[in-house]
Structure 1
Amino acid sequence: MSVEKITQNALKALLYEVVTNPKPGLVDPVDVGSHPDMNVYLFINSSLSLENYFRQAAKIGADFTGQDLRQMFEQLRQAGIEAEKAMFKTTHNINTHKGAIFSLGLFGCASSYCENNNQGEFEVIQQMTKGLVKHDLGKRNETAGEKQFLQYGKGGVRAEAEAGYPLVRDVALPFLAQTEGDLNVRLLDTLMKIVSAIEDSNLIKRAGNIEVVSWAHNQAKKYLALGGYGTQPGKQFMLELNRIFKEKNYSLGGSADLLIITIFMALQREII
């Protein structure tokens, strides 16, 4: 698969995620959820501002010939820093896609690397991010991720990357592969499958406690047990959940990021 195709699939993944609705507390075309400073147009602009970055990420993966994949990750990180600047310039300093710059950049780079090397994306990402939690966390406490690591011992997205994104590999992608029907329903149900298993750092930050995680798990499991968005009871439940999320100012930013990379991998593997 060409660098261009990987770039297109990365952009599609961002755009598919934002138009999926109704997502509890998240921005979609119908609703801004718990994000009054954002809207769907901002997300579209932000996505397009990252096109060059995804092309760069894929090129880094295509061109890398070294043995230590952490060096490939370092190159990607430098490109990611510039991508964040481009995003913030486009969004007037609103953080729309910082998490996706990290995760989707990793997947674009790894996918491209895998084209020339007989390995899978998930294992390549593990090799790229080896030692990342230890390297990045526990020293400072500036970002939400750093604070949560010190407070709750949770490694967040870095730990997820270092483990090779098991939630995407073992839960979300197989789940999406066996869903059928309307793409909006399939992606919405996959989001809630992710919510049923993730410790969402964005949700923990918004709630100010870790107990919110088991509540969110239970809500997502109830929704899936009702048959998901393709059923009337599932639909009603989701609309009510959306209302609760907005009332409590909860958001599922971590889950949205994992949905984005699940969509990307599904596009790469022609599952959707």
Structure 2
Amino acid sequence: MSVEKITQNALKALLYEVVTNPKPGLVDPVDVGSHPDMNVYLFINSSLSLENYFRQAAKIGADFTGQDLRQMFEQLRQAGIEAEKAMFKTTHNINTHKGAIFSLGLFCCASSYCENNNQGEFEVIQQMTKGLVKHDLGKRNETAGEKQFLQYGKGGVRAEAEAGYPLVRDVALPFLAQTEGDLNVRLLDTLMKIVSAIEDSNLIKRAGNIEVVSWAHNQAKKYLALGGYGTQAGKQFMLELNQIFKEKNYSLGGSADLLIITIFMALQRGII
């Protein structure tokens, strides 16, 4: 698969995620959820501002010939810093896609690397990010991720990457592959499958406690047990859950990022 195709799939993944609705507390075309400073147009602009970065990420993966994949990751990180600047310039300093710059950039780079090397994306990402939690966390106390690591011992997105995104590999992607119905229903149900298993750092930050995680797990499991968005009961439950999220000012930013990379991998593999 060419660098161009990978770039297109990355952009599609961002755009598919933002138009999927109704997502609890998240921005979609109908609703800004718990994000009054954002809307769907901002996300479209932000997505397009990252096109060159995804192309660059794929090129880094295609061109890398070294043995230590952490060096490939370092190259990607430098590109990611520039991509963040481009995003913030486009969004007037609103953080729309910081998490996706990290995660989706990794997948673009790894997918491209895998074209020339007989390995899978998930194992390549594990090699790229080996030692990342230890390297990045526990020293400073500035970002939400760093604070949570110190407070709760959670490594967040870095730990997820270092483990090779098991939630995407073992849960979300196989789940999406067996879903039926229109794409909105399939992606919404996959989002809630992710919510049923993730410790969402964005949700923990918004709630200010770790207990919110088991509450969210239970809500997502209830929704899936009702049959998901393709059923009347599932739809009703989701609309009510969206209201609760907005009232409590909760958001599922971490889950949205994992949905983005699940969509990307599904596009890469022809699942959707």
Q: Normalising by structure 1, what TM-score?
A: 1.00
Task: For 2:5 and 2:269, locate their aligned partners in 1 and report how far apart those are by CA, in whole Å.
Answer: 12
Task: For 1:6 and 1:142, locate their aligned partners in 2 and report how far apart those are by CA, in whole Å.
Answer: 33
Task: For 2:264 and 2:124, locate their aligned partners in 1 and report how far apart those are by CA, in whole Å.
Answer: 16
Task: For 1:270 and 1:140, locate their aligned partners in 2 and report how far apart those are by CA, in whole Å.
Answer: 41
> 1:206: which partner in 2?
206
Task: For 1:252 and 1:244, locate their aligned partners in 2 and report how far apart those are by CA, in whole Å.
Answer: 13
How far the C-alpha of 1:225 sits from its partner, in A, is 0.0
How far the C-alpha of 1:89 sits from its partner, in A, is 0.1
**CA displacement 1:58-103 (0-9 Å, x = unmatched):** 0000000000000000000000000000000000000000000000
Task: For 2:57 and 2:142, locate their aligned partners in 1 and report how far apart those are by CA, in whole Å.
Answer: 26
Task: For 1:263 and 1:141, locate their aligned partners in 2 and report how far apart those are by CA, in whole Å.
Answer: 32
RMSD over aligned Cα atoms: 0.1
> 2:148: which partner in 1?
148
**CA displacement 1:100-134 (0-9 Å, x = unmatched):** 00000000000000000000000000000000000
> 1:7: which partner in 2?
7
- Identity over aligned pairs, percent: 99
SS in 1 for 2:22: coil
> Structure 1 stretches of 5 or more lacking a match?
none
> 2:123: which partner in 1?
123
How far the C-alpha of 1:181 sits from its partner, in A, is 1.3
Task: For 1:264 and 1:50, locate their aligned partners in 2 and report how far apart those are by CA, in whole Å.
Answer: 15
Task: For 1:107 and 1:141, locate their aligned partners in 2 and report how far apart those are by CA, in whole Å.
Answer: 27
Task: For 2:141 and 2:148, locate their aligned partners in 1 and report how far apart those are by CA, in whole Å.
Answer: 8
Task: For 1:148 and 1:225, locate their aligned partners in 2 and report how far apart those are by CA, in whole Å.
Answer: 31
Task: For 2:143 and 2:191, locate their aligned partners in 1 and report how far apart those are by CA, in whole Å.
Answer: 25
> 1:166: which partner in 2?
166
> 2:68: which partner in 1?
68
**CA displacement 1:186-233 (0-9 Å, x = unmatched):** 000000000000000000000000000000000000000000000000
**CA displacement 1:116-155 (0-9 Å, x = unmatched):** 0000000000000000000000000100000000000000
SS in 2 for 1:229: helix
Task: For 2:85 and 2:71, locate their aligned partners in 1 and report how far apart those are by CA, in whole Å.
Answer: 22
Tell me if 1:251 matches 2:256.
Answer: no
SS in 1 for 2:230: coil
After TM superposition, what 4+ stretches of structure 1 lie above 2 angstroms from structure 2? none
SS in 2 for 1:60: helix
> 2:20: which partner in 1?
20
Task: For 1:188 and 1:141, locate their aligned partners in 2 and report how far apart those are by CA, in whole Å.
Answer: 34
**CA displacement 1:225-255 (0-9 Å, x = unmatched):** 0000000000000000000000000000000
Task: For 2:223 and 2:141, locate their aligned partners in 1 and report how far apart those are by CA, in whole Å.
Answer: 36
How far the C-alpha of 1:164 sits from its partner, in A, is 0.1
How far the C-alpha of 1:168 sits from its partner, in A, is 0.1
Task: For 2:9 and 2:90, locate their aligned partners in 1 and report how far apart those are by CA, in whole Å.
Answer: 21
Task: For 1:170 and 1:108, locate their aligned partners in 2 and report how far apart those are by CA, in whole Å.
Answer: 19
Task: For 2:46 and 2:73, locate their aligned partners in 1 and report how far apart those are by CA, in whole Å.
Answer: 23
SS in 2 for 1:119: coil
SS in 2 for 1:209: coil
Task: For 2:85 and 2:11, locate their aligned partners in 1 and report how far apart those are by CA, in whole Å.
Answer: 18
Matches within 5 A, 1:38-77: 38-77=38-77
